[in-house]
């Protein structure tokens, strides 16, 4: 099978939400000695970007996005370990988290997917994440960016506490803080001292790619 055919197979598998085909394509890519990062970027990620654009244009809906994300991760599980350490070390490090007190993580999972698809090394902390854990991890792991999510008004303060905690531990100037979720706004981001707010995951990934 040609390199192009394998890359198209990976992209189509993600667009159509076929995890078994993504695994098959990933193994074929490694067997054909295709560079793992190339197979990720020009195969899996190409497919996920197509789905992201269709989602933004309301041509596909949440279940398809989640199935495509699941498929991309099925391929990533095989290809990520094959990326040379040096290449991983050069990737910008980002963490995603739904702030303390909030269990709404579907949106955050799409943010995680779009950041991964944009070439970031993403450490997903999950949901209802204690603010201190976010603040400590940022400094200890020397993160380049943090993407915080909340869908509830009562838990928005957790985002301000995260920013304040990073000011206190002296790491604030080293990390970009992005926020999102329906109750948040660009004004709120400014008010709490975060760097950026976006309504959707793709725009956030695009903004972070631009700033780095
Ligand atoms: C699904 C859902 C649930 C599920 C969550 C399942 C899960 N694993 O996430 C369950 C049933 C568990 C749930 C529980 C509750 N829920 Co609820 N839930 C919803 C619902 C219907 C959909 C949210 C969703 O997933 N949308 C789909 C995703 C894809 O969209 P999204 O999250 O908005 O994400 C997109 C953008 O916002 C953005 N984004 C999101 N995060 C981020 C982060 C960054 C950095 C960026 C850039 C972008 C970004 O990008 C995403 C995709 O592009 C909303 C109503 C609504 N329509 O929003 C209510 C809602 C959020 N829930 C609400 C409430 C009150 C609750 C409960 C307290 C109810 C109760 N009394 O028990 C509990 C909360 C418990 C807790 N401690 O968190 C309220 C919040 C009101 C408020 N403003 O405070 C809402 C708005 C419903 C309502 N109208 O009252 N909920």
pLDDT values of the chain reduced to their tens digit, one per residue, 212 residues:
999 999 999 999 999 999 999 999 999 999 999 998 899 889 998 998 898 888 888 898 888 988 998 998 899 899 988 887 767 667 889 999 999 999 999 889 889 988 887 888 899 999 999 999 999 999 999 999 999 999 999 999 999 999 999 999 999 999 999 999 999 999 999 999 999 999 988 889 889 989 98
| Residue whose CA is at the smallest distance from ligand 1 atom 46 | 180
Give which of 76, 57, 60 is closest to 10, Cα–Cα: 76
81 ligand 1 Cβ < 6 A: no
Tokens of 67: 């199935």
- pLDDT for 118 equals 81
- Alpha carbon 44 to its chain centroid, in Å, reads 14
- Decide: 92 and 144 in contact? Cβ < 8 Å: yes
- pLDDT for 52 equals 81
- pLDDT for 202 equals 85
198 ligand 1 Cβ < 6 A: yes
Q: Given ligand 1 and candidates 126, 151, 202, which is best to mutate, with the most ligand atoms within 8 Å of its CB?
A: 151
| Residue whose CA is at the smallest distance from ligand 1 atom 19 | 104
- pLDDT for 13 equals 97
Q: List, in order, residues 6 or more apart from 12 with CB less than 8 Å away.
A: 18, 21, 47
What's the gap in Å between 183 CA and the centre of ligand 1?
A: 10
Q: List, in order, residues 6 or more apart from 37 with CB less than 8 Å away.
A: 83, 87
CA 156 – CA 100 distance, rounded (Å): 9
DSSP 50-73: HHHHHHHTTSS-HHHHHHHHHHHH
- pLDDT for 88 equals 67
- pLDDT for 154 equals 96
Q: Given ligand 1 and candidates 52, 53, 104, which is best to mutate, with the most ligand atoms within 8 Å of its CB?
A: 104
| Count of C-beta atoms within a 10 Å radius of residue 149 | 29
Question: What confidence tens digit (pLDDT) does each residue in 55-109 have?
Answer: 888 898 888 988 998 998 899 899 988 887 767 667 889 999 999 999 999 889 8
What's the gap in Å between 23 CA and the centre of ligand 1?
A: 32
94 ligand 1 Cβ < 6 A: no
- pLDDT for 185 equals 97
């Amino acid at each position: 099978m040609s390199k192009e055919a394998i890359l198209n197979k990976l992209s189509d598998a993600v667009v159509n939400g076929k995890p078994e085909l993504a695994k098959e394509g990933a193994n074929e890519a490694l067997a054909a000695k295709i560079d793992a990062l190339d197979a990720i970027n020009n195969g899996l990620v190409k497919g996920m970007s197509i789905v992201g654009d269709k989602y933004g244009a309301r041509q596909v809906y949440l279940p398809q996005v989640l199935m495509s994300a699941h498929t991309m991760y099925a391929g990533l599980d095989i290809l990520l370990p094959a990326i040379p350490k040096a290449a991983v070390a050069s990737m910008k490090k980002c963490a995603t988290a739904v702030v303390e007190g909030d269990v709404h993580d579907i949106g955050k999972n799409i943010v995680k997917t779009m950041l991964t698809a944009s070439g970031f090394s993403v450490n997903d902390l999950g949901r209802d994440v204690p603010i201190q854990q976010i603040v400590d991890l940022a400094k200890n792991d020397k993160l380049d960016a943090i993407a915080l999510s909340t869908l509830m008004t009562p838990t928005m303060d957790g985002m301000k506490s995260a920013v304040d905690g990073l000011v206190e531990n002296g790491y604030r100037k080293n990390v970009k803080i992005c926020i999102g979720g329906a109750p948040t706004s660009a004004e709120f981001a400014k008010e709490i001292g975060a760097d950026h707010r976006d309504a959707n995951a793709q725009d956030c990934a695009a903004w972070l790619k631009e700033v780095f």
